[in-house]
């Protein structure tokens, strides 16, 4: 795959990136060998950007991604992880993690956007992954702790960038208003935008993406299927939208999008993968992959061209705004 540069940095990413959330056991357990096969299929398909977080499976995703990447040349890939939660060991006492990841509750998450907390988080992540450095560090899910993240977290990341410890810094969030504020008030390089720059939700196109373009902040779109509603050619009976059962009006709208897509020989997930990239600020997308089959399917869909008239017809039907 080609690569795109993040902001004004020397860090590059492939336009399709590997999202590490599912490898943390999100929604269902993940077998070690299945996870390794997913990563291998992604690599074979040309993916060279891998994103993870301590939050994903309280360290499991980082360990799995690190185990795989340690066998590859360090300069051959781009790796990002996130800060804001420190993992504190605890006795699981037979309990499982209680925030959606199917892993034993061996640690608890403690919010910490202080300088010391962020440096501890980075060191812990380096140890878990067994790598020598990260290319990108991101403030994670800072919505409920935004002032702390802005006051303490961002300067800590900027310091690490100035020291050459990391090549690019930014945030991974879903709240576009807070993301826009962060872009305006700091000197970040990249924003992972979750769920609001998608085929089904265009919120980020109204303010955040234009501001990122003006400030030369690159955007990577995540949660592009909005928890699954646009991940299949037609909505499934138990489809979810933003982690909740899909509202009937969203299901109806997705069926209408599918009608237009099918008229152009395109599926809804193909369109969902390409839609965020229509804005010049967006340099890539992240897709969670939990098996080799998923990875190969995602790469094949991403490689397919989407005809330009599709977007015109979706706009004409009032189904997309850009």
Residues annotated catalytic, as ranges: 56
Tokens of 270: 């193909």
Tokens of 32: 């070690």
Query: Among 297, 218, 285, which residue's Cα sits nearest to residue 45?
Result: 297
175-180 long-range CB contacts below 8 Å, 24 or more apart?
Answer: 175/143, 176/203, 176/204, 176/206, 176/207, 176/208, 177/207, 178/142, 178/143, 178/146, 179/204, 179/208, 180/207, 180/208, 180/211
Residues in the chain: 322
Residues in contact with 100: Cβ distance below 8 Å, sequence separation at least 6, in sequence order: 26, 27
Q: Is 79 left (phi over 0), alpha (psi -120 to 50) or beta?
A: beta
């Amino acid at each position: 795959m080609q690569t795109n540069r993040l902001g004004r940095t020397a860090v590059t990413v492939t336009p399709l990136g590997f999202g590490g959330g599912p490898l943390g056991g999100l929604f269902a357990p993940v077998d070690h060998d299945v996870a390794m096969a997913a990563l291998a299929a992604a690599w074979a398909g040309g993916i060279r950007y891998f994103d993870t977080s301590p939050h994903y499976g309280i360290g499991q995703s980082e360990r799995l991604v690190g185990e795989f990447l340690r066998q590859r040349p360090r300069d051959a890939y781009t790796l990002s992880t996130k800060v804001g939660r420190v993992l504190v060991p605890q006795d699981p006492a037979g309990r499982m993690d209680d925030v959606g990841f199917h892993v034993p509750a061996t640690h608890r998450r403690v919010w910490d956007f202080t300088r010391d907390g962020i440096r501890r988080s980075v060191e812990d992540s380096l140890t878990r992954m067994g790598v020598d450095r990260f290319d990108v560090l991101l403030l994670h899910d800072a919505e409920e702790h935004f002032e702390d993240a802005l006051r303490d977290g961002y300067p800590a990341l900027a310091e690490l960038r100035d020291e050459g410890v990391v090549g690019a810094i930014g945030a991974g969030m879903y709240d576009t208003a807070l993301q826009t504020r962060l872009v305006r008030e700091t000197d970040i390089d990249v924003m992972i935008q979750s769920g609001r720059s998608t085929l089904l939700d265009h919120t980020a196109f109204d303010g955040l993406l234009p501001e990122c373009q003006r400030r030369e902040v690159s955007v990577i779109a995540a949660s592009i299927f909005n928890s699954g509603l646009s991940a299949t050619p037609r909505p499934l009976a138990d489809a979810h939208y933003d982690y909740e059962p899909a509202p009937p009006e969203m299901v109806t709208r997705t069926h209408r999008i599918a009608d237009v897509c099918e008229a152009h020989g395109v599926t809804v997930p193909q369109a969902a993968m390409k839609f965020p990239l229509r804005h010049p600020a967006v340099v890539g997308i992240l897709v969670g992959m939990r098996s080799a089959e998923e990875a190969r399917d995602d790469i094949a869909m991403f490689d397919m061209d989407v005809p330009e008239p599709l977007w015109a017809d979706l706009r004409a039907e009032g189904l997309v705004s850009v």
